[in-house]
Amino acid sequence: MEVIQIEGGYPITGEVRVEGAKNSALKLMAATLMAPGINELTNVPNISDVHIMAQVLEELGAKVEVKGPHDLLIDTTDVNTWVTPYHLVAKMRASTAVLGPLLARFGKAVVAMPGGCNIGARKIDMHMLGLEALGVNFVVDHGNIHASAPNGIVGTLVTLEFPSVGATENLLMASVHAQGVTTIDNAAREPEIVDLANMLNEMGAKISGAGTPLIEIEGVPELHPVSHRVVGDRIEAGTFIAMGGLVGEPVTVRGFDPQHLGLVLKKYELMGLTVEREADGVTVWRTGPIKPTDIQTLPYPGFPTDMQAQTMTLLATAAGDSIITENVFENRFMLAAELNRMGADIRIEGHHAIVHGVEGFSGAPVTSPDLRGGAALVMAGLVADGYTTVSAIHHIDRGYESFVEKLQSLGAHVERIAAPDEL
C-alpha cells in the first residue's frame, strides 16, 4: 500500500498539461463495440479506470493494444459475448456504459450492477426506464441486469426525469441502430456527451442536438471504425486551477477548452482569483484573500459535482462563511470530516455544507473518501503546516495520471511512499 505525503508551505507555480477526459475516454472505449474493426483512440489518459475498461472489452472478445503512452488500438472484430464480468464492473461505475453498445450490437446484454466511488446511489433505474421505452426488457437477477430487445430497438421519444450523463450516453448508443428516430428530451449536455456524439457521427451515426437538452438520433444499419481524439479533461484542469488559486502563485493549465469550465471560472473569479483565458487553457493566480462564495452543484452547464470537493478546500480558508449545496450525489460531503481533521470548520446539514473559513490547515494523516476528495486532500496539504499523509490513494489513481509528478513539476514537496506501519 502506498500513500501520498505532502510537506506544506512551498510555492507551486509553472505550467501543467492535462490528459484526455476520463469521463469521455471510458464511454468512447465502450462505443468501439458498435463498430467492428480496429478503432484508434488518441489522448487517452493512462489511469486505472481506463485499464479496467480495457479489461472489460478484452473479456468481451476485443483486442486492446497500447500504441503509445496515450493511444489505444481497439479491435472489436471478434467480440462474441454480451456478458460482462462482475469482478471488473464492480470496480467502476462507468463500466455500465457497455450496456447500450451491447444492446446495439447483439440486441442483448448482461451487466453487473455498478460499483465505483461511494458517493451516492447509482440511478441505473433511469437507464433502464429510458431503454424500456425503446423496447428493451430487463430482468435483475443475483446482482446482474439482463437486458434484451426481442423485437429490436424501436425509436421513440424518451424524456429523462433528470439529465443523467450515464443514461443519456446509454440511450444515445443503444438507439444508433434503432428503427426510426429516437429523441432524448432533458438530455445531459456535458462536453463529454458532445465528444461521444461526435465520434459516433464520425462512425456513420446520424445524431443531432448533442450539447442541448434535445438530442435526435436517426437509426442507421451499421457503423465503421474511426480514429478519434479524446477531449481534454476539464475536471483535471479544474483541480490544478483550484490548487493555483489556493496557493496563490501563477499556475498555467493547458490541454482543455476553458469554455467547458465556464461557471467554475466565474465562481473562482468571485472568490478573488484572477483567471486569464487562452484558447487551450488558463493561467490563474491570487493576490488578496479568498472571498466566501456560495456554490450549488447542478448538471452541466451548472457547477459540476466533480469540482465540489476542490472548491470546498478553497472555501475552507476563505475570509468568511460559504454554503455549498450538493444537488447531484447525496454522499458527497465525506471530505468534510477529513478536512476538519486538518483544522477546517465545516458543518454538514443535509445536502448543505456550511464552510466557516479558517486561517490555514494543519498537516495530518487523512484518508481519500473518493476520487475528487482524495485530490482535494492533497491540495489542502500543499498549504498546511507540516506534513500531510493521504491514504487510500487508489481513488486518486482512478482519475489522475502522474498526479504526484505533475505537482512536483510545479514545485510541490510531494511524493508517493510506502504506507507507514502505523497507518
Which residues lie across from 227 on neighbouring strands? Answer: 40
187 and 75 together in one domain = yes
Instruction: For residue 219, give Cα distances in angstroms to 116, 152, 208, 325, 423.
Output: 32, 12, 12, 40, 55
Q: 385 with 361: CB under 8 angstroms?
A: yes
CA 1/CA 332 separation, integer angstroms: 25
55 and 193 together in one domain = yes
> Of 205, 229, 253, which one is at a domain's C-terminal end?
229
- DSSP structure string for 362-397: B--EEE--SHHHHHHHHHHHHTSBSEEEEE-THHHH
In the block, residue with C-alpha cell 435526435? 216
More confident residue, 344 or 328: 344
Residue 224: inside a domain, yes or no? Answer: yes
pLDDT score, position 94: 66
Residue 320: inside a domain, yes or no? Answer: yes
Instruction: Tell me the mean pLDDT in the region 309-324.
Output: 98
252 and 138 together in one domain = no
HSE-CB for 124 with a 13 A CA cutoff: 21
pLDDT category at 361 given cuts 50, 70, 90 is very high
pLDDT category at 140 given cuts 50, 70, 90 is confident
Residue 423: inside a domain, yes or no? Answer: no
Distance between first and last Cα of the chain: 10
Residue 155, all three cell numbers: 425509436
Q: 423 with 365: CB under 8 angstroms?
A: yes
**Nearest Cα to Cα of residue 136 among 121, 154, 148:** 148
Q: 321 with 356: CB under 8 angstroms?
A: yes
205 and 224 together in one domain = yes
**Residue 398: is its pLDDT beyond 70?**
yes
Q: Is 398 annotated as a binding residue?
A: no
292 and 348 together in one domain = yes
Instruction: Tell me the mean pLDDT in the region 100-114.
Output: 91
54 and 133 together in one domain = yes
> How many domains would you assign to the chain?
2
217 and 273 together in one domain = no
151 and 288 together in one domain = no
330 and 211 together in one domain = no
Residue 270: inside a domain, yes or no? Answer: yes
pTM for the whole structure:
0.95
Q: Is 93 annotated as a binding residue?
A: yes
Residue 166: inside a domain, yes or no? Answer: yes
Instruction: Tell me the mean pLDDT in the region 38-51.
Output: 96
pLDDT category at 422 given cuts 50, 70, 90 is low
pLDDT score, position 214: 98
Q: 285 with 274: CB under 8 angstroms?
A: yes
Residue 73: inside a domain, yes or no? Answer: yes
Q: Is 22 annotated as a binding residue?
A: yes
Q: 199 with 226: CB under 8 angstroms?
A: yes
Instruction: Tell me the mean pLDDT in the region 134-153.
Output: 92
Instruction: Tell me the mean pLDDT in the region 351-375.
Output: 97
159 and 304 together in one domain = no
Instruction: For residue 210, give Cα distances in angstroms to 34, 84, 180, 249.
Output: 19, 28, 18, 38
pLDDT score, position 123: 64
Average pLDDT for the chain: 94
**Residue 423: is its pLDDT beyond 60?**
no
**Residue 330: is its pLDDT beyond 80?**
no
Lowest-pLDDT range of 66-70, 201-205, 271-275: 66-70
Residue 295, all three cell numbers: 456554490
Lowest-pLDDT range of 91-95, 175-179, 276-280, 286-290: 91-95
Instruction: For residue 119, give Cα distances in angstroms to 134, 157, 304, 328, 372.
Output: 30, 31, 14, 10, 10
**Nearest Cα to Cα of residue 384 among 423, 339, 333, 417:** 339
Domain span at residue 205 reads 22-229
pLDDT score, position 120: 47
Residue 104: inside a domain, yes or no? Answer: yes
225 and 258 together in one domain = no
CA 100/CA 296 separation, integer angstroms: 31
Lowest-pLDDT range of 37-46, 141-150, 233-242, 359-368: 141-150
Residue 158, all three cell numbers: 424518451
> Of 211, 229, 247, which one is at a domain's C-terminal end?
229
**Residue 119: is its pLDDT beyond 50?**
no
Q: 298 with 282: CB under 8 angstroms?
A: no
CB atoms within 10 A of CB 362: 15
Lowest-pLDDT range of 225-234, 250-259, 330-339: 330-339
> Of 173, 206, 229, which one is at a domain's C-terminal end?
229
Q: Could you give the residue numbers annotated as active site?
A: 117
For position 71, which CATH number holds?
A: 3.65.10.10
Residue 396: inside a domain, yes or no? Answer: yes
138 and 7 together in one domain = no
Q: Is 306 annotated as a binding residue?
A: yes
pLDDT score, position 220: 98
Q: What pLDDT digit, counting tens, does each position of 211-251 carry?
A: 999 999 999 999 999 999 999 999 999 999 999 999 999 99
Question: How would you list the strands of the sheet with 157-159, edge to edge?
Answer: 157-159, 181-185, 214-218, 206-208
Angle, alpha carbons 291-292-295 (nearest 5°):
125
